[in-house]
C-alpha cells in the first residue's frame, strides 16, 4: 500500500525544555536540526552505517559522511590518504576511487588485524594498485615508521582516523598522524557521534566522556595550526561532527 499524506503524523515535535514543553515545526531550520539529530541517534542504534558497500566492499560509514569525504578528496587532491582502521576496506576503496578519477595518489590503510578474507577482497579489487596495507596497532612506533616510509616525500597528505575510538587512543593518533597532514589538507576524525548516543541501548558505559570528540577538543587546545571546518557538517547527519580538521596554510 502507498501511504498518503493524510496518514502521516502532524509535522510538529514537542520538546521538553527547562521552561516546559515547546512545539517545534519540523519544516523550520530548528525542526530540521532536531529531526536530523534524532535520525542520527536512532540510525546509530539500528546500525545504519553497516548497511552500505562502496564498489562492492562494505564501508562502515554514514552515507552523508561518504559524500562529504568524496567532496573533500576531490577538492584537496591529496597525493596520499592515510586511514587508521580498515575493517573490510570500504573506506580505502572510497578514497582510492576518487584518486583514480583524479589520475593520481595512493592510500595507506592501517589496522591492528587485517582478516584474511578482507585482505583478499582488498588485494583483488580493481583499485588495489592504489592501496597499501599495514598491519599493526596505529600507535606502535614500528607501524608509524612503516606508514612514513610508504608516504615517502609525498606532498599533500590527508589522514582519516577511524580505529579504536577511545579518547586516549585518538589523542595519541592525532599526535602521531597530524604531522603528516599538509597545510590546506585535513585530518578527519570519525565517530564523534559517541557522546550523542551515550544513552542508547547499544552504547557502552562512559561514552559521554571517553570518545574522539574529547580527544579533538584537547588536541585543538595545543595545536592552533588546525581548525574545525564546519562546511563538511552541513548535511547535519554525520558521525564526524567537529571532526573535519583543516591544517591552516603556512
Ligand X SMILES: C[S@@+](CC[C@H](N)C(=O)[O-])C[C@H]1O[C@@H](n2cnc3c(N)ncnc32)[C@H](O)[C@@H]1O
Angle of helix 63-76 versus helix 90-102 axis, rounded to 10: 30
Q: Which is nearer to ligand X, 34 or 150 (CB)?
A: 150
Q: Kindly give the pairing relationship between strand 226-228 and strand 20-25.
A: unpaired
CB of 49 to ligand X, least distance (A): 8
With CA atoms as reference, report the closest residue to 71 among 50, 43, 48, 102.
102
- For ligand X, the nearest residue by Cβ is 91
Q: Which is nearer to ligand X, 65 or 79 (CB)?
A: 65
CB of 58 to ligand X, least distance (A): 7
CB of 80 to ligand X, least distance (A): 16
Those residues with Cβ within 8 angstroms of residue 229's Cβ, 6 or more apart along the chain or in another chain: 186, 244, 245, 246
CB of 168 to ligand X, least distance (A): 11
Q: Which is nearer to ligand X, 86 or 147 (CB)?
A: 86
Q: Which is nearer to ligand X, 30 or 51 (CB)?
A: 51
Those residues with Cβ within 8 angstroms of residue 148's Cβ, 6 or more apart along the chain or in another chain: 180
Q: Which is nearer to ligand X, 59 or 127 (CB)?
A: 59
Length of the chain: 250
With CA atoms as reference, report the closest residue to 148 among 190, 104, 157, 170.
157
Q: Which is nearer to ligand X, 34 or 55 (CB)?
A: 55
CB of 226 to ligand X, least distance (A): 21
Report CA 207 to chain centroid distance, whole Å.
17
Q: How far is CA 63 from CA 12, 48, 108, 153, in A?
A: 26, 9, 22, 33
- List residues near ligand X by CB under 6 A: 59-61, 83-88, 90-91, 110-113, 137-138, 162-164
Amino acid at each position: 500500500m502507498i501511504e498518503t499524506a493524510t496518514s502521516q503524523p502532524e509535522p510538529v515535535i514537542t520538546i521538553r525544555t527547562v521552561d516546559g514543553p515547546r512545539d517545534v515545526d519540523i519544516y523550520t531550520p530548528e525542526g530540521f536540526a532536531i529531526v536530523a539529530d534524532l535520525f542520527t541517534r536512532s540510525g546509530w542504534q539500528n546500525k545504519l552505517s553497516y548497511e552500505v558497500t562502496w564498489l562492492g566492499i562494505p564501508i562502515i560509514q554514514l552515507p552523508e559522511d561518504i559524500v562529504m569525504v568524496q567532496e573533500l578528496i576531490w577538492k584537496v587532491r591529496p597525493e596520499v590518504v592515510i586511514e587508521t582502521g580498515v575493517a573490510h576496506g570500504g573506506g580505502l576503496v572510497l578514497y582510492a576511487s576518487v584518486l583514480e578519477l583524479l589520475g593520481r595518489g595512493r592510500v595507506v590503510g592501517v589496522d591492528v588485524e587485517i582478516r584474511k578474507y578482507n585482505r583478499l577482497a582488498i588485494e583483488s579489487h580493481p583499485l588495489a594498485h592504489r592501496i597499501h596495507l599495514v598491519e599493526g596497532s596505529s600507535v606502535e612506533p614500528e607501524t608509524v615508521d612503516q606508514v612514513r616510509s610508504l608516504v615517502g616525500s609525498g606532498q599533500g597528505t590527508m589522514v582519516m582516523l577511524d580505529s579504536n575510538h577511545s579518547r586516549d587512543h585518538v589523542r595519541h593518533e592525532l599526535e602521531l598522524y597530524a604531522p603528516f597532514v599538509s597545510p590546506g589538507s585535513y585530518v578527519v576524525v570519525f565517530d564523534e557521534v559517541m557522546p550523542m548516543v551515550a544513552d542508547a541501548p547499544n552504547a557502552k558505559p562512559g561514552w559521554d566522556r571517553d570518545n574522539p570528540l574529547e580527544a579533538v577538543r584537547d588536541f585543538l587546545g595545543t595545536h592552533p595550526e588546525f581548525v574545525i571546518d564546519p562546511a563538511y557538517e552541513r548535511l547535519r547527519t554525520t558521525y564526524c561532527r567537529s571532526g573535519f580538521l583543516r591544517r591552516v596554510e603556512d
